[in-house]
Amino acid sequence: MPMTPPSGPLCTRDSLVPQLQDLGLRPGETLLVHSSLSALGWVCGGAVTVVQALLDVLGPGGTLVVPTHTGDNSDPADWCNPPVPESWWAGIRATMPGYDPRTTPTCGVGRIPETVRTWPGALRSAHPQTSFAAIGAGAFAIVDGHAPDCRLGERSPLARLEEAGARILLLGAGFDSCTAFHLAEYRIAAPRVDVSFAVMTPGGRRWHTVRDTSISEERFAELGAAFEEEHPVVRGRVGGADVRLFALADAVGYAGGWLAAHRPRGGSGPSTPPENTVVHHPARVVEG
């Protein structure tokens, strides 16, 4: 049976590094990356090559951060793409493995974050659904203290990234993947919702429910388009991918006003309906 030839361009570590540098990435900075490996083209070495190139550019004083979300660790009653039978719900709640930052794989965020998660020296935050992993000089300060009742707010790595002056790199990803916009949701009026997941405690694994701010990526693409019309956003190409680079604090600050004006008064609407394979993770998967 004939095979479809790979689509290019051919990307290597040596080709990616200067392209990332040409965007303006600097040694020593803190960078949150949302990525699509497939958008780059044919990458020799796959996700490992991309991570190596990013670390080459950031250098030993820099910090690479990615979302390592595990949205499948959630209440099956909310799953919708596809749903599971109601008769299964109790069994899923009773047997879902508890989140372990050392071993729980990512879900739905792509191959580059999963590669970072398992990288030697990587650290990962403690939230059972919306963790982040980091490599580099500032990794511990970024991931420490991620509260179970604060997915993407003031007690999450997003706020620590803002304090660190981080920038965001959308590497073949769109603004609908821009997790930082959720930090703005915590700073405007929004409803509270129940959020459930399996956790590990000193007494063993248990099903746990907390109250947290409702979050949704609804209209994030529209928000991003408006943001880049009014704020400096570096645009370019890395391999075959369209990329954007901008300050996280600028994005969060702009999103607060935009969401308050363009979403219903008093909240952002219901939390994003989870799916059974990409369940309630705001940084949507963008790679095939």
Could you give the CA distance from residue 30 to residue 34 in angstroms, rounded to a whole number?
Answer: 14
For range 238-246, the mean pLDDT: 98
For range 160-173, the mean pLDDT: 98
pLDDT at 263: 81
In sequence order, what are the beta bridge partners of 209? Answer: 196
User: What's the sign of the alpha-carbon dihedral 202, 140, 234, 256?
Assistant: positive
Could you give the CA distance from residue 245 to residue 32 in angstroms, rounded to a whole number?
Answer: 10
Q: How confident is the model at residue 32 (pLDDT cuts 50, 70, 90)?
A: very high
Q: Which residues of 9-27 are buried (b: 16+ CB within 10 A; e: fewer)?
A: eebebebbbebbeebebee
- Contact indicator for 53, 20 with CB cutoff of 8 Å: yes
Span 170-208, pLDDT tens digits: 999 999 999 999 999 999 988 999 999 999 999 999 999
Q: How confident is the model at residue 1 (pLDDT cuts 50, 70, 90)?
A: low
Model confidence at 137: pLDDT above 60: yes
Task: Quote the DSSP letter at residue 176.
Answer: G
∠ Cα 165 169 172 (to 5°):
170
Give the C-alpha distances (Å, rounded to integers) separating 95 from 72, 74, 75, 89, 99: 13, 12, 12, 10, 12
